[in-house]
Chain A
Amino acid sequence: MDVFGFGIAIFDSGVRLAVPLLFACLAGLWSERSGVVDIGLEGKLLVAAFAAAAASHRFDSAWVGLAAGIAASIAFALVHGFAVISQRGNQIVSGVAINMLAAGLTALVGNAWYGQGGRTPPLEGAMRYQPLTLPGAEQAAAVPVVGRLYAYVVSGHSVLVYVAIAAVVATSFVLARTRFGLRLRAVGENPAAVDTAGISVTGLRYAAVVIAGVLCGMGGAYLSLDQAAAFLPLMTAGKGFIALAALIFAKWRAWPAFWTCLLFGLLDAVAIRLQGVVVPGVGQVPVQAIQALPYALTVILLAGFIGRAIPPRASGTPYVKER
Chain B
Amino acid sequence: MSAGGEGAGSPEPAPSLELVGIDKRFGEVHANKAVDLVVRRGSIHGIVGENGAGKSTLMSIVYGFYEADAGEIRVNGRPVRIRAPREAIAAGIGMVHQHFMLVEPLSVLDNVMLGAEGGALLRAGARKARAELERLSTEYGLAIDPDAIVGDLPVGLQQRVELLKALVRGADILVLDEPTAVLTPEEADHLFRLLRVLASEGKTVILITHKLREIMAVTSRVSVMRRGEMVATLDTADTSPGQLAELMVGRRVLLRVEKGPARLGALRLQVQNLTVVDAKGTPRVRDVSFGVHAGEIVGVAGISGNGQSELLEALAGMRPIAGGRITLGSTEIGPELRDPHVLRRRGLLHVPEDRLRMGLVPPFEACESAILGFHEEERYRAGPLLSRDAVIEDTREKMESYDVRPPAPLLRTSKFSGGNQQKLVLAREIERSPKVLLVGQPTRGVDIGAIEFIHRRLVALRDAGVAILLVSVELDEIMGLADRVVVMCGGRVTGERLTSETDERELGLLMAGVSEQAA
Q: Is the CB of A189 within 8 A of B104?
A: yes
> Is residue B519 contacting chain A, with contact meaning CB distance below 8 A?
no
* List of B residues within 8 angstroms of A177 by Cβ: 121-123
> Is residue A80 contacting chain B, with contact meaning CB distance below 8 A?
no
The answer, among B85, B111, B113, for a CB contact under 8 Å with A195, is B85
> Is residue A192 contacting chain B, with contact meaning CB distance below 8 A?
yes
Report B471 CB to chain A, min CB distance, Å.
Answer: 27
> Is residue A196 contacting chain B, with contact meaning CB distance below 8 A?
yes
> Is residue A194 contacting chain B, with contact meaning CB distance below 8 A?
yes
> Is residue B105 contacting chain A, with contact meaning CB distance below 8 A?
yes
> Is residue B101 contacting chain A, with contact meaning CB distance below 8 A?
yes
Chain A 278-323 interface residues, beta-carbon cutoff 8 Å to B: 313, 321, 323
Q: Is the CB of A182 within 8 A of B122?
A: yes
Report A35 CB to chain B, min CB distance, Å.
Answer: 12
* List of A residues within 8 angstroms of B63 by Cβ: 196
> Is residue A193 contacting chain B, with contact meaning CB distance below 8 A?
yes
The contact string, 1 if C-beta is below 8 Å from chain A, for chain B 217-237, is 000000000000000000000
Q: Is the CB of B121 within 8 A of A178?
A: yes
Report A117 CB to chain B, min CB distance, Å.
Answer: 49
Report A239 CB to chain B, min CB distance, Å.
Answer: 29
> Is residue A229 contacting chain B, with contact meaning CB distance below 8 A?
no
> Is residue A180 contacting chain B, with contact meaning CB distance below 8 A?
yes
By size class, the interface of chain A is: 20 to 34
Closest to B26 in A: A323
The answer, among B101, B105, B120, B121, for a CB contact under 8 Å with A197, is B101
Closest to A176 in B: B122
In the complex, which of the residues B103, B106, B117, B125 has the most CB atoms of chain A within 10 Å of its own CB atom? B103
Chain B 87-137 interface residues, beta-carbon cutoff 8 Å to A: 87-89, 95, 97, 101-106, 110-111, 113-117, 119-123, 125
* Known contacts A196-B97, A198-B85; A190/B102 CB under 8 A: yes
Q: Is the CB of B115 within 8 A of A197?
A: yes
Closest to A188 in B: B103
> Is residue A185 contacting chain B, with contact meaning CB distance below 8 A?
yes
Considering the chains assembled together, what is the distance between the CA atoms of A193 and B87 in angstroms?
16
Considering the chains assembled together, what is the distance between the CA atoms of A183 and B125 in angstroms?
14
Q: Is the CB of B115 within 8 A of A194?
A: yes
Report B266 CB to chain A, min CB distance, Å.
Answer: 48
The answer, among A182, A190, A196, A323, for a CB contact under 8 Å with B85, is A196
Report A31 CB to chain B, min CB distance, Å.
Answer: 18
Q: Is the CB of A198 within 8 A of B120?
A: no
Considering the chains assembled together, what is the distance between the CA atoms of A196 and B114 in angstroms?
10
Report A85 CB to chain B, min CB distance, Å.
Answer: 17
Q: Is the CB of A197 within 8 A of B85?
A: yes
* List of A residues within 8 angstroms of B103 by Cβ: 185-186, 189-190, 193-194
* List of B residues within 8 angstroms of A197 by Cβ: 85, 89, 101, 114-116, 165
Chain A 170-219 interface residues, beta-carbon cutoff 8 Å to B: 177-183, 185-186, 189-190, 192-199
Report B59 CB to chain A, min CB distance, Å.
Answer: 12
Considering the chains assembled together, what is the distance between the CA atoms of A264 and B404 in angstroms?
62
Q: Is the CB of B114 within 8 A of A186?
A: yes
> Is residue B259 contacting chain A, with contact meaning CB distance below 8 A?
no
By size class, the interface of chain B is: 20 to 34
* List of A residues within 8 angstroms of B104 by Cβ: 189-190, 313
The answer, among A182, A313, A321, for a CB contact under 8 Å with B114, is A182
Report B160 CB to chain A, min CB distance, Å.
Answer: 16
Considering the chains assembled together, what is the distance between the CA atoms of A323 and B66 in angstroms?
9
* List of A residues within 8 angstroms of B106 by Cβ: 182, 185-186, 189
Report A185 CB to chain B, min CB distance, Å.
Answer: 7
* List of A residues within 8 angstroms of B105 by Cβ: 189, 313
* List of B residues within 8 angstroms of A193 by Cβ: 101-103, 111, 114
Closest to A185 in B: B106
Considering the chains assembled together, what is the distance between the CA atoms of A179 and B123 in angstroms?
10
Considering the chains assembled together, what is the distance between the CA atoms of A193 and B115 in angstroms?
10
Considering the chains assembled together, what is the distance between the CA atoms of A195 and B103 in angstroms?
12
Report A253 CB to chain B, min CB distance, Å.
Answer: 12
> Is residue B190 contacting chain A, with contact meaning CB distance below 8 A?
no
> Is residue B84 contacting chain A, with contact meaning CB distance below 8 A?
yes
Q: Is the CB of A198 within 8 A of B110?
A: no
The answer, among A178, A190, A323, for a CB contact under 8 Å with B101, is A190
Considering the chains assembled together, what is the distance between the CA atoms of A182 and B109 in angstroms?
11
* List of B residues within 8 angstroms of A198 by Cβ: 84-89, 115
Considering the chains assembled together, what is the distance between the CA atoms of A323 and B121 in angstroms?
34
* List of A residues within 8 angstroms of B65 by Cβ: 196, 321
Considering the chains assembled together, what is the distance between the CA atoms of A100 and B251 in angstroms?
63
The contact string, 1 if C-beta is below 8 Å from chain A, for chain B 17-34, is 000000000100000000
Considering the chains assembled together, what is the distance between the CA atoms of A199 and B123 in angstroms?
20
Q: Is the CB of A182 within 8 A of B89?
A: no
Considering the chains assembled together, what is the distance between the CA atoms of A183 and B165 in angstroms?
15
Considering the chains assembled together, what is the distance between the CA atoms of A172 and B87 in angstroms?
32
Considering the chains assembled together, what is the distance between the CA atoms of A321 and B86 in angstroms?
15
Q: Is the CB of A179 within 8 A of B119?
A: yes
* List of B residues within 8 angstroms of A194 by Cβ: 103, 114-115
Considering the chains assembled together, what is the distance between the CA atoms of A65 and B82 in angstroms?
47
Chain A 32-80 interface residues, beta-carbon cutoff 8 Å to B: none
* List of A residues within 8 angstroms of B110 by Cβ: 182, 185-186
* List of A residues within 8 angstroms of B101 by Cβ: 190, 192-193, 196-197
Chain B 410-430 interface residues, beta-carbon cutoff 8 Å to A: none
Beyond the given A178-B122, A194-B115, could you list 9 further A-B residue pairs with CB under 8 A, ordered by the A residue number?
A181-B122, A185-B110, A186-B103, A192-B101, A196-B85, A197-B85, A197-B114, A199-B114, A313-B105
15 A-B residue pairs with Cβ-Cβ distance under 8 Å, sorted by A, are A178-B122, A179-B119, A182-B122, A183-B114, A185-B106, A186-B110, A189-B105, A193-B103, A194-B114, A196-B85, A196-B95, A197-B89, A198-B84, A198-B88, A313-B105
